[in-house]
Structure 1
Amino acid sequence: MKRILVLTTGGTIVSLQTMDGLKPDNENIIHILYEKIYSLAGDYDVTIEPIFNKDSSNIIPSDWYIVEDSIRKHINQYDGIVILHGTDTMSYSAAMLSYLFLGINKSIVLTGSQLPIVYDNSDGVNNLIDAIITAGDGRLSGVFVVFHDKIINGTRAYKRSSINIDAYISCNYPYVGVIKDRTLFITSDYKKIKENESGTDIIPARKRKETIIPKIYLLKMIPGIDESIIDYIQNENYQGLIIEGYGLGGMPVANTELMNKLETLIKRKIPIIMATQCVYDGVNLDTYEVGIKANKIGMISAYDMTTEAVYTKLIWILSLTDSYEEIIKILQTNFCGELNTKIQ
């Protein structure tokens, strides 16, 4: 019998209706969660424990370390871990936990729902059962998101819908697997990519600096962007900047004042990572003038990483090192399926 620990953090799946709208309520939902998974009783010994009780819109980076500590406290006593989480920031949490648990030989599975589990038509029951099955499957190890019968690598989950129960896709990466009739099938594409993936066996040592969360700014390019925003980023001592550029990583390079201000940040060894506003394919700074000039001043390509994976990776890296050269090297190294540098 597989021993699975379910840790609850809040989210829609454990929400109840209140006068102020839907609100997570771990304490009054736990007995209902046990009832919903009763059919697994013969195959899985499930323990459910709360960590905290938040709508995931209220998740902050320090919460990820609280979840990490809870997992590390219990992981040796269980075959796998399930984390119930709100869907709005689940991609961020899954990506961060992927970096924090590099090399783990068990599965940590995040799931949630679009409708509270107390609703008769909730997708939460199937998602929870599928997550438990995935966590107990010894063929998989690492961090995953399980949603609507699909298993997604933790650094590749992307929420595409605010309402539809098929809310998550795997971005620029094969689906890890699917679950049908409570049977888990690992996809051939995932097996193939794992065989050929140019990952690394080197796991950087942590300095445990995360009590001080680094300040990272996410800036989306828009037509006519005001370059004075860069002054704010500099004056407020941000330690990193992620730019969501156009297409393959386009910048308004005709705005020379903007480009000069960005180059000044780079010369001060503030990492600037170029991501894309597009969901699929990624960044290539060697194609258009508007990307080549960004590359020439020292912007770092995010390649095909999601914004969520870039943001959390930079937070993680800044807990490892203060060296600008090491930051760049680690950013452009694939550790857990988050990165493919061979973007055409």
Structure 2
Amino acid sequence: MKRVLVLTTGGTIVSLRSKEGLKPGDDLSQMLFNKIISLAGEYDVTFEPIFNKDSSNIIPSDWYIVKETIRKHIDKYDGIVILHGTDTMSYSAAMLSYMFCNVEKAIVLTGSQIPIAFDNSDGVKNLKDAIITAADGRLSGVFVVFHDKIMKGTRVYKRSSINKDAYISCNYPYVGVIKERKLYITDDYKRMQEKEVDIKEILGANDICLNNQSTSAVAGKTLKIPKIFMLKMVPGFEPGLLDYILKEGYQGVIIEGYGLGGMPVANMQLLENMERLIKRGIPVIMATQCVYDGVNLDTYEVGVTAGRLGILSAYDMTTEAVYTKLMWILGITDSYPEIKKFLQTNICGEIAVKHTNNDEI
């Protein structure tokens, strides 16, 4: 019988009504167990709470708490399920993907759009599907399971605030689907896996995915979370904001640019301030506000100019994936060449396409 540990962190799936609106209830392990009783005899499921938060209240240090809990238990189970709120699940899934990029078991995040205590909840099926996925020995890595679909942890994007089919897999094949309690891995995912190279061959790292930030750092006061500024380009953007980034000691900047990675290069003050950041050794990465297809800094003048300044491309990474990746890397090294190398390396499926000026548009 496969053993699965379900870790609870709060979220809609365990929420109850209150005077202030829906909010995560106290430990609901018994209720959750009763909801999956139909899996008895096939899976040995244990529930353990970590913390109890609406996912809007999740902060980066929480990811390290989840990481240490997983590390403590993973050898004793065939797979891990994490119940999580939907609003920031894509961030948590991406960060855990880097933290456990060499894991040989499945770590699965799931949740629901309607609390599991409600009759019309999607939580029961999502939880059962997540348990089935976590226990499936064919999968290893971090995934999100939602509405029958299995998605790579670095590729999930929440497209709907209320629809039960809330997530898509962005710029990457769906890993699989679950129908009638059976897991089917897609051919597209199998083909994608064949193309991906073991990161150890590229980085020459023995345990890069697990060594950053020790258990003692999490337990004590020495855990240092890198400060990363998310900058969304809008018409009329004031470049003086970049002075604030320098003053406040941010260690990295991610720009959500236009289209293929554009910014207003006609604004000379913006270019000067951006160049000053880069000369200080602060990595600046160009992502895109578009959901699909990613960044190509070799196509338009507004992208070429950004690239010549030293702004790095996020390629086809989601904003959530590049934000957490930079945070994870800065927790490992402060060497700019290493930061650049890691950013441009596909660690766990977050980069599939690196556009060049030979690509058609």
Please say whether Structure 1 and Structure 2 have the same fold, judged by a TM-score greater than 0.5: yes
2:82 counterpart of 1:57:
no
Which one of 346, 349, 352 corresponds to residue 334 of structure 1?
346
Residue 137 of structure 1 is matched in structure 2 by: 136
Tell me if structure 2 keeps the 8 A contact 1:332–1:341: no
Residue 17 of structure 1 is matched in structure 2 by: 17
Residue 310 of structure 1 is matched in structure 2 by: 322
Alignment of structure 1 residues 50-199 onto 2, 5 Å? 50-199=49-198
Q: Distance in 1 between matches of 2:48 and 2:59?
A: 20
Structure 2 residue ranges without an equivalent (≥5) = 218-222
| Deviation per residue, 1:89-137 (Å, 9 max, x gap) | 0000000000001111100000000000001000000000000000000
Q: Distance in 2 between matches of 1:131 and 1:44?
A: 12
Residue 261 of structure 2 is matched in structure 1 by: 249
Report the alpha carbon displacement of residue 274 of structure 1 after superposing the two structures with TM.
Answer: 0.2
Residue 219 of structure 1 is matched in structure 2 by: 231
Q: Distance in 2 between matches of 1:324 and 1:300?
A: 12
What residue identity is the alignment partner of 1:274? M
What residue identity is the alignment partner of 1:16? L
Q: Distance in 2 between matches of 1:34 and 1:135?
A: 16
| Deviation per residue, 1:162-220 (Å, 9 max, x gap) | 00000000000000000000000000000001001245224463342771101100000
Residue 220 of structure 2 is matched in structure 1 by: none
Q: Distance in 2 between matches of 1:186 and 1:341?
A: 22
| Deviation per residue, 1:60-103 (Å, 9 max, x gap) | 00000000011011101100000000000000000000000111
2:336 counterpart of 1:324:
yes
Q: Distance in 1 between matches of 2:62 and 2:354?
A: 33
Q: Distance in 1 between matches of 2:326 and 2:305?
A: 23
Given the two structures, how large is their TM-score scaled by the length of structure 2? 0.93
Q: Distance in 2 between matches of 1:94 and 1:199?
A: 20
DSSP-derived class of the 1:225 partner? coil
Which one of 234, 244, 249 corresponds to residue 237 of structure 1?
249
Q: Distance in 1 between matches of 2:213 and 2:113?
A: 35
Which one of 287, 291, 299 corresponds to residue 303 of structure 2?
291
Tell me if structure 1 keeps the 8 A contact 2:170–2:291: yes
Structure 1 residue ranges without an equivalent (≥5) = none
The change in CA–CA distance for 1:262 and 1:199 in structure 2 (over 3 A counts) is: farther
Q: Distance in 2 between matches of 1:162 and 1:207?
A: 34
Which one of 196, 204, 208 corresponds to residue 213 of structure 2?
208
Tell me if structure 2 keeps the 8 A contact 1:8–1:26: no
Q: Distance in 2 between matches of 1:154 and 1:194?
A: 14
CA RMSD of aligned residues (A): 1.1
DSSP-derived class of the 1:18 partner? coil
Tell me if structure 1 keeps the 8 A contact 2:172–2:352: no
DSSP-derived class of the 2:229 partner? strand
What residue identity is the alignment partner of 1:11? G
Q: Distance in 2 between matches of 1:50 and 1:195?
A: 37
Q: Distance in 1 between matches of 2:345 and 2:168?
A: 23
Tell me if structure 2 keeps the 8 A contact 1:114–1:122: yes
Q: Distance in 1 between matches of 2:66 and 2:119?
A: 29
Q: Distance in 1 between matches of 2:263 and 2:291?
A: 17
| Deviation per residue, 1:210-250 (Å, 9 max, x gap) | 71101100000000001111011111110000000000000
The change in CA–CA distance for 1:296 and 1:170 in structure 2 (over 3 A counts) is: same
Residue 4 of structure 2 is matched in structure 1 by: 4
Report the alpha carbon displacement of residue 30 of structure 1 after superposing the two structures with TM.
Answer: 1.5
Tell me if structure 1 keeps the 8 A contact 2:227–2:249: yes
Q: Distance in 2 between matches of 1:199 and 1:259?
A: 37
Tell me if structure 2 keeps the 8 A contact 1:26–1:50: no
What residue identity is the alignment partner of 2:187? S
Tell me if structure 2 keeps the 8 A contact 1:199–1:333: no
DSSP-derived class of the 1:193 partner? helix
Q: Distance in 2 between matches of 1:342 and 1:194?
A: 17
What residue identity is the alignment partner of 2:268? T
Q: Which moved more, 1:209-218 or 1:85-94?
A: 209-218
Given the two structures, how large is their TM-score scaled by the length of structure 1? 0.98
Report the alpha carbon displacement of residue 299 of structure 1 after superposing the two structures with TM.
Answer: 0.1
DSSP-derived class of the 1:87 partner? coil
Tell me if structure 2 keeps the 8 A contact 1:171–1:279: yes
Alignment of structure 1 residues 6-45 onto 2, 5 Å? 6-27=6-27, 29-45=28-44
What residue identity is the alignment partner of 2:60? P
